[in-house]
Amino acid sequence: MIGLEWNMKLFNLDKLAVYFVSEFKTLIFIMRIEFLYKVAFAFSMFLSSFVANAQNVIVADTVDADDLFSEKPVQIPLDECEYIDTCEQRRYAIVTKDGKKGIYDLERHENVTAIDLDFICYSRSLQLDDSLCLYYFYAEDGLQSGIIGVAGTNNSTLGFWNDNPRLVGNLAHCTTVDSIVSDTCRSLLLDCMLRLNGNYGQIAVIDAQTGHLKAWVALGRSNDGFEDAKLLKLSCTASIFRPVFAASLLADVGVSLDDSIDTGNGIYDAGDGLEIRDPGWHDGGYGVLTFGQALAFRSDIAVYSAVLAARGTDAPEIWKEIVNGKKETNAMEFASIVNSFYCKDKILYPSLEGDSLCVEPFSNMTVQALDNVKKVLDGFSLVASKANETFDKSVDVGIAGLYGAYVSTDDKSSELSFAGCFPSDNPRYAVGLFIGQLPGQIVDPCLLSDTIEHLVNWLSK
């Protein structure tokens, strides 16, 4: 397919030659086409073997004429680069400047590509004939990954790019997705994004019995409202799982979830300028609660107390890591993790290939730790009833889960999230949902309760 696509592309380029008035230019153009045929042939040979050895790494994309005949990149002297990594073939090097990377020819003393890529590594070379040797590099740029081929004769480059499978989900080969469930999720997510001034959001539904993916939808803000967006695998924080982490730590140090903790007025001075605040600090805090209740209400004071009890003097540094706001997960993983913690003895992730699953063990988690986590998830009803007095009455099934909220330290971004499964006595579905909000919004995850209520009722019919 790659060779055929390139043949069609080069055929179209060949037709462009009739527009050249000068016979000399026409001859040069045709010679260039012959050169590109060689390059394309070499690419087709390389990519087929590359994909066989590294599945899901690269899919050939189209390349237009402007890409093929582009000007040389801006030249940056080697002594201005911060780091130089000479490739094994010794001719080319990966150079770094201002955190970005590019390819540099050490023999010709010139930049082969602009220094604007996130990652590059040398792969291999291919001697096509006596006059042409091609050098291949794997590269990543934003959400895309690809192969860059460099012709050793003149440093011409060709690139094949597509969404980076490490960063972007693709449901094209997932056979378990239900279109009706997906359409309903899209409608509910759109309503939620409109209501809460969202910027980017995801919703996912997992079959709790099998672990198979039933729906995974993403929407993003556009000039005209909202539109389907890429399924970013690293699109939200994992802050929703703080109570789960704390519950497992308490089990490790022998503290019961029935033991009491005084969260005071919702503000705790941990020393050295570190201040912990509960979500309810504006209302005077939660006061004295059991650990189970405090974690169900997302008390950060309770979470920090658990970290302090289990990790001692390392607690402040661990806490900073917990609240760093790094985007490292997504709605599909929300649903998979909660479902696995609640009713499985291992973590199951949909692989997005057919109906297969990725299986991971619960590493270093005791039976008591897993039992604590399940009890915290069962405490969701406490939060739901406080968030909406009619919630328990309007939903006929029990829900086990978590609400989550995150606000960046500069208050320029926030997110609301939910992860849960139902019915809690024998789950059929698990749901993950998060909304990334525009600045200046109310950050209360209980605002998601209306969306969760509608989805739970619809799936339970």
Q: Which residues contact 304 (CB under 8 A, 6 or more apart)?
A: 268, 270, 276, 315, 319
- Per-residue pLDDT at 67: 46
**One domain, residues 218 and 273:** yes
Residue 256: the pLDDT is 94
Look up residue 446 and give its two tokens.
């209980």
CA angle 370, 373, 376 (to 5 degrees): 155
Same domain, 123 and 211: no
pLDDT beyond 90 at 251: yes
User: How many Å from the N-terminal Cα to the C-terminal Cα in the chain?
Assistant: 45
The residue among 137, 148, 76 whose CA lies nearest residue 111 is: 76
Higher pLDDT pick, 48 / 355: 355
Contact call for residues 218 and 201 (beta carbons, < 8 A): yes
Rounded Cα gap, residues 130 and 138, in angstroms: 25
CB 453 within 8 A of CB 459: no
Rg of the chain over all Cα atoms, to the nearest angstrom: 27
The answer for residues whose C-beta is within 8 angstroms of residue 70's C-beta and 6 or more apart is none
Residues 112, 12, single domain; the answer is yes
Q: Look at residue 262 and tell me whether its pLDDT is greater than 60.
A: yes
Domain co-membership, 126 together with 248: no
82 with 187, same domain: the answer is no
- Mean of per-residue pLDDT scores for the chain: 83
Q: Quick one: angle between helices 449-459 and 179-195, nearest 10?
A: 160
Residues 219 and 79 occupy one common structural domain? no
Query: Average pLDDT of 213-224?
Result: 95
Say what percent of the chain tops pLDDT 90: 59
Amino acid identity of residue 178, one-letter, is D
- Residues 6 or more apart whose CB falls under 8 angstroms from that of 339 comprise 206, 208, 211, 348, 421, 427, 430
pTM of the model: 0.79
My answer on whether omega of the bond before 423 falls inside 30° of 0, hence cis, is yes
The last residue of a domain, from among 163, 191, 225: 163
Assign residue 343 the CATH number of its domain. Answer: 3.40.710.10
| 115 and 66 within one domain | yes
Q: Is the same domain home to 228 and 125?
A: no
Does 60 have pLDDT greater than 50?
no
User: Is the model's pLDDT at 8 over the cut of 90?
Assistant: no
Please give the pLDDT value at position 434.
96
Residues 95 and 174 in one domain: no
Confidence bin at 25 (pLDDT 50/70/90): very low
152-191 residue pLDDT tens:
989 999 888 999 999 999 999 999 999 999 999 999 999 9
3-state secondary structure the chain: CHHHHHHHHHHHHHHHHHHCCCHHHHHHHHHHHHHHHHHHHHHHHHHHHHHHHCCCCCCCCCCCHHHHCCCCCCCCCHHHCCEEEECCCCCEEEEEECCEEEEEECCCCEECCCCCECEEEEEEEEEEECCEEEEEEEEEECCEEEEEEEECCCCCEEEEEEECCCCEECCCCECCCCHHHHHHHHHHHHHHHHHCCEEEEEEEEEECCCCCEEEEEEEEEECCEEEECCEECCCECCHHHHHHHHHHHHHHCCCCCCCEEECCCCEEEEECCEEEECCCHHHCCCCEEEHHHHHHCCCHHHHHHHHHHHHHHHHHHHHHHHCCCCCCECHHHHHHHHHHHHHCCCEEEECCCECCEEEECCCCCCHHHHHHHHHHHHCHHHHHHHHCCCHHHHCCCCCEEEEEEEECCCCCCEEEEEEEEECCCCCCEEEEEEEEECCCCCCCHHHHHHHHHHHHHHHCC
Same domain, 36 and 135: yes
Q: Which of 55-64, 118-127, 377-386 is least confident?
A: 55-64
Q: Which of 163, 180, 197 is the last residue of a domain?
A: 163
pLDDT at res. 412: 79
Domain span at residue 434?
169-459
| Structure tokens given for 351 | 């692989």
Q: What is the mean pLDDT of residues 311-334?
A: 93
Instruction: Please tell me whether residues 178 and 90 are part of one structural domain.
Output: no
Does 23 score more than 50 pLDDT? no
pLDDT tier for residue 233 given thresholds of 50, 70 and 90: very high
Among the ranges 2-11, 19-28, 210-219, which has the highest mean pLDDT value?
210-219
Per-residue pLDDT, 214: 98
Output the six-digit token pair for 281: 């600090």
Q: How much is the average pLDDT of 192-208?
A: 96
Orientation of helix 300-311 relative to helix 315-322, angle to 10°: 140
Strands 110-111 and 400-407: unpaired
CA-to-CA distance for 334 and 341, rounded, in angstroms? Answer: 11
Q: Are residues 173 and 242 in the same domain?
A: yes
The number of angstroms, rounded, from the C-alpha of 222 to the middle of its chain's C-alpha atoms is: 20
Last residue of a domain, one of 146, 163, 180: 163
When divided into structural domains, the chain yields a total of: 2
In the predicted structure, residue 11 carries a pLDDT above the cut 50: no
Listed in sequence order, the residues at least 6 apart from 193 whose beta carbon sits closer than 8 Å to its beta carbon are 201, 219, 221, 226, 435
